[in-house]
Amino acid sequence: MRRLFSAFLLAATLAGAVVALAQTYPSRPVHVAVGYSAGLAPDIVARLIAQSLSDRLGQSFVVDDRPGAGSNIATEFVVRAPADGYTLLAATFANAVNASLYQNLNFDFARDMAPVIGTFRAPTVMVVTPSLPAQTVPEFIAYARANPGKLDYVSSGYGTVPNVVGELFNMMAGVKLVHVPYRGSYMADLLSGQVQLTFVPLATTIGQVKAGKLRALAVTSATRSDALPGVPALAEFLPGFEVNVWQGIAAPKATPPDVIDKLNREINAVLADPAIKNRFTDLGGAVIGGSSADFGKLIAGEIEKWAKVARAADIKPE
């Protein structure tokens, strides 16, 4: 009986400590690790969320850019951090791709991270050099089928957004575009016509598209984008084709549920702010929001989807 009472007392004490932690959280600065350099979309979105949380909760949410290895450096840093809610990850589309692409990671993203909330999503856009004769997606597919192995699509490396989306397009359109990975920027060669095509987040190329320097054939969201309303969705020609680059917040796996719930509530409130919605629109995207379970389902579905593409296309990291 004494042991039972002691166990009950311990459980009650731990439960009380968790509730107290959630009530006082955050009591010191929170760090949000980003796997990309300052000025890129993941960094911009993280800073918008962090500043709003700082204003709402009265503690600093500090963005900590840790670029490299396709965001794996930042992810491992958070995985190894104390599970107390004071070190968070700006999780991205890359985490889902990397889960199957890299075989020797020191962590398992799905197993070692707890989803908090999805924050931002945006389609990629299929852009071609204006010198290419194809004016529409059907014309492009017909041209590619008539010229197998003669059209290139460019990316910034194996496993990056243009690479995996390009391979999904190859599979669903029944074409054979040649992947040309660049270590630096490929934009000058695309603008000059040395390479023909890429798939990139909308915000990256919307300026060149509107200026007529690149031709947008389609966006990869399920429906057309308000940012380019005259550009069709690829799904109009390839039913079921849908790709959105996305971002969210994740925490180390053992982070107390009450802390995750508090972060989820507060970030949902941030995402409901019209100013944040408008800023996301400027970036070519939209808010996600919802529960931590919703974000977990999104991550699981994305890991499964891109694992199939990586296997089918035999994509391997450099």
For 32-89, what is the HEC assignment? EEECCCCCCHHHHHHHHHHHHHHHHHCCCEEEEECCCHHHHHHHHHHHCCCCCCCEEE
The C-alpha angle with vertex 294 and arms to 292 and 300, in degrees rounded to 5, equals: 105
pLDDT in the model for residue 5? 45
Sequence ranges of the domains in the chain: 2-122+245-313, 123-236
pLDDT score of 11 more than 60: no
pTM of the model: 0.89
Instruction: Tell me the three state secondary structure of residue 1.
Output: coil
pLDDT score of 306 more than 70: yes
Rounded CA-CA distance 269/41 in Å is 21
Q: What percent of the chain has pLDDT over 90?
A: 81
User: Residue holding tokens 């107290």?
Assistant: 20
For residues 65-87, give the mean pLDDT: 96
pLDDT score of 182 more than 90: yes
Q: What is the CA radius of gyration of the chain?
A: 22
The CATH architecture assigned to 123-236 reads 3-Layer(aba) Sandwich (3.40)
Do residues 125 and 70 make contact, with C-beta atoms less than 8 angstroms apart?
no
Rounded CA-CA distance 200/180 in Å is 14
Two domains, one topology: 2-122+245-313 and 123-236: yes
Q: Which residues pair with 215 in a beta bridge?
A: 128
Spatial neighbors of 15 by CB under 8 A, at least 6 apart, are none
Superfamily of domain 2-122+245-313: Bordetella uptake gene, domain 1 (3.40.190.150)
For residues 143-155, give the mean pLDDT: 94
Rounded CA-CA distance 272/286 in Å is 11
pLDDT in the model for residue 4? 47
Using 50, 70 and 90 to split pLDDT, how confident is the model at 7? very low
What tokens does 22 get? 């959630």
For residues 228-250, give the mean pLDDT: 96
Rounded CA-CA distance 300/90 in Å is 17
Tens-place pLDDT, residues 102-128: 988 999 999 999 999 999 999 999 999
